[in-house]
Amino acid sequence: MRISTNHKTQKIDRQQQTIIEYSVKNGFKIDDFFSDIITGGTKAENRPDFNNMKNQLRSGDTVIVSDVDRLGRNADDVIVEIKDLQSKGIRVVALDVPFMNDWQKMTDDSLSKMIVDIFVTLKAHIAQQEKEKIHDRVMQGLNTAKKKGKKLGRPTTGVPKDFIKEYNKFQSGEYGNMSVVQFAKLQGIAVSTFYKYVNLLKEKGS
């Protein structure tokens, strides 16, 4: 069990009672209860009683949680803990998750793996939805800005003064028979940048 300090209405008794009722119904003998009163952002590895429980667990044991999110602070944390426990031969029963609340089915390794995979898939799906929402909000903002007549995109980069000075020399022949490629290299710019600057100067001069 994990009780968040920022949710004062949460009660350890409620979670314990749910687990007791499940255990009685399924013929389990409860060896011990483990609970941490922590902040919601605390990782599982930093929870004292959770680590105490893991140190006592042995292959063949079963961990029962009232809610799967009791196993970690977020989806990543939950997945890591489930995989870690399963790798040690420990069954994880989460009473709020279909299939995970059937301890007999949780003896099936392939089913357990499938459930973890579902978590990963759901997490990826939710993350993708969030990205799409952000993209939609950005596009809405851009469209609104366009309607208001705001100029969008990167600001036009001016031509560096040093380039103008050296380009004038280049044009007047002070660089002799130097090619554009050689001149651009000497200025530390690409040939494409050279022509970009030249075109900007022409536009400015027209």
32, 61 Cβ separation under 8 angstroms: no
Phi, psi for residue 93 in degrees, rounded to 5: -110, 120
Other Cβ atoms closer than 10 A to 45:
13
Burial 145-162 (b: 16+ CB within 10 A, else e): eeeeeeeeeeeeeebeee
- C-alpha 205/C-alpha 198 separation (Å) is 10
Which amino acid, residue 36? D
Residue with tokens 């494409």: 192
Per annotation, catalytic residue among 4, 23, 66, 179: 4
Q: Strands 36-38 and 62-65, how do they pair?
A: unpaired
- C-alpha 103/C-alpha 61 separation (Å) is 11
**Annotation says 4 is catalytic:** yes
Catalytic sites, residue numbers? 4
